[in-house]
Every structure is written in C-alpha cells, then in structure tokens.
Amino acid sequence: MTDYTIARRRMVEDQVIARGVRDQRVIDAMLRVPRHLFVPDALAAQAYSDFPLPIGERQTISQPYMVGVMSEALQLKDGDKVLEIGTGSGYQAAVLGLLARQVFSLERIPALARQARRTLDKCGFARINVRVTDGTFGWEEEAPFDGIVVTAGAPSIPPPYRAQLAIGGRLVIPVGDRLSQILVRVTRLSERDFREERLFGCRFVPLVGDHGWREE
Ligand code: SAH
C-alpha cells in the first residue's frame, strides 16, 4: 500500500466514521477517490488532513468530514441523477460519481473548472459533466434531479433548486451569512410540499451569483 492509501484509510476512519458517518457507500467512495490529486501539488502531503485547503482563486476544497456528511445527507441510490453547485477541485463531484449514475457540476470560475476537468479525466471520471456558469440558476435542461448539493454558502435557498428537484429528491445546502451557515436539507414530498431539516452548523465560501451573494 502506498503512503497515500494508508493516509486515506486513516482519514476515513478518524475523521469520517468516528464522527458518525455510517453510509457504507459513502465510506467506500471516500476510500477510493485519490484526494491528493485534487489539491495543488505543493499541498498533496496535507490532502488527508482534517481541514479545508486552498485550491486557488480564493476558494477551498472542503474538509473531508464535510464531504462525508453532505454525501450521506443526500441519500443517493445507484440510479440517481445529481447536481452539484461549486465544482471547485472536483473532489466532491468524484465522490458523487461513485454514488450516483449521472453527475452534473457547475462552477463559476473558469480556471477552477478547467483544472477540475483535468483531474477528473485523469482519475477516470470522464463521464462527470462540468459546466462554467452561475450555478444559482441550477441546470434546467437536465432537471429534475434526485439530489442537489451546494458546496458554497447561500444567503437563502435559490428558488430554481426547489423547482429542479424530483419528487422525493433531496437538496443539501448551507444557508446563513457570509461567515457561517446551517446545513439545510430540503426534501420534495410532492409537487407543492417540501420538508426542511436543519442539520448542523458549517462554514463555506460564499455562493456568488444572481440568487446568491454579490461579489465583494
Ligand atoms: N465541491 C468543491 C468545493 C469548492 S468550494 C470541492 O470538492 O473542491 C466552492 C466552490 O463554489 C468554489 O469553487 C466557488 O468558485 C464555487 N461557486 C461559488 N458561487 C458559485 C456559483 N454561483 N455557481 C457555481 N459555482 C460557484
């Protein structure tokens, strides 16, 4: 086993399982995705540490635990179609790629989307769709989605996300102010009814866009 494989196993055991993530499919996915390839080369040695890391453009790859809980909260099944807002490094998208049948991911910063595309291709995730756009509008042509996950903090829930959820579908999104948020899960119960659960506190970079924050 390589040092990275050992570090990855330790990360999943100490940071993800030990803190309560139970979904075996999520655990297996995180054991498989080579997180060190999704961070800048100079930070590869820290890729399995218990914190977010800078990926350029003032953005970050989320803390491993956060990827674990968000993936679990989505309750994905093999055949599901899922949308991610905030491709960033592409790491969360890769984890989703092992949990769902189709993954669509939106990123507003072209340089990050390009780098994520390269990494995803290198790691065998060529079928994950990445598009550069303001993701606060969702991806209407591909809706409805069984899962939508937003990896940036929103001031409120952008209306397109509810509209693009399949019935039975789950939206997981950090909502709050610019510095701290609550992770919220919205489940679409019927055409008109949605259940909203507040999961726990978190801290994400801002979701910048028409239905999000204004650029600073
Ligand atoms: N899921 C990423 C985490 C990236 S951090 C990973 O696994 O690495 C959040 C990302 O959301 C940043 O790359 C940021 O540029 C992006 N973002 C912020 N607002 C956005 C918007 N309106 N549409 C698409 N992406 C957005």
Measured CA to CA in angstroms, residue 108 lies from 23, 40, 209 at distances of: 30, 19, 9
Percent of all residues in the chain with a pLDDT value above 70, rounded to a whole number: 100
Residue nearest (by alpha carbon) to ligand 1 atom 16: 86
Residue 27 has which token pair?
């655990």
| 144-155 pLDDT, tens digit each | 999 999 999 999
- Cα–Cα distance measured from residue 39 to residue 180, given in angstroms and rounded to the nearest whole number: 24
Bridge partners of 84?
A: 105, 149
- Cα of 15 vs centre of ligand 1, distance in Å, is 23
Average pLDDT over every residue of 100-123? 98
State in Å: Cα 152 to ligand 1 middle. 6
CA distance 156 to 141: 23
Closest ligand 1 atom to residue 207 Cα is 19
Give residue 1's pLDDT: 74
Pairwise CA distance, residues 101 & 98, whole Å: 8
pTM of the model: 0.98
Q: Count other C-beta atoms under 10 Å from residue 126's C-beta.
A: 11
Q: Which of 70, 128, 151, 183 to mutate to test the pocket of ligand 1 (most atoms within 8 A of CB)?
A: 151
Using the mean position of ligand 1's atoms as its centre, give its distance from the Cα of residue 2 in Å.
30
The residue ranges of DSSP E strands in 78-190, in sequence order, are: 81-85, 102-107, 129-132, 145-150, 165-176, 181-188
User: Could you say which DSSP state residue 50 is in?
Assistant: S
Q: Which of 179, 187, 127 is nearest to 161 (CA)?
A: 187
Q: What mean pLDDT comes out for the span 181-201?
A: 98
**Nearest Cα residue to atom 10 of ligand 1:** 86
Which CATH number fits the domain 3-202, given the four candidates 1.20.1250.20, 3.90.930.12, 3.40.50.150, 3.40.190.10?
A: 3.40.50.150
Q: What is the mean pLDDT of the segment spanning 113-118? A: 98
Q: What residues have CB less than 8 Å from 18, skipping those under 6 apart?
A: none
Which of 49, 62, 156, 190 is catalytic? The answer is: 62
**pLDDT value of position 135:** 98
**DSSP strand pairing (81-85 vs 145-150):** parallel
Give the pLDDT score at 2: 84
- pLDDT score at 68: 98
List, edge to edge, every strand of the sheet that includes 165-176.
129-132, 102-107, 81-85, 145-150, 165-176, 181-188, 194-202
Sequence ranges of the domains in the chain? 3-202
Q: Whose CA is nearest to atom 18 of ligand 1?
A: 207
Is 49 catalytic? The answer is no
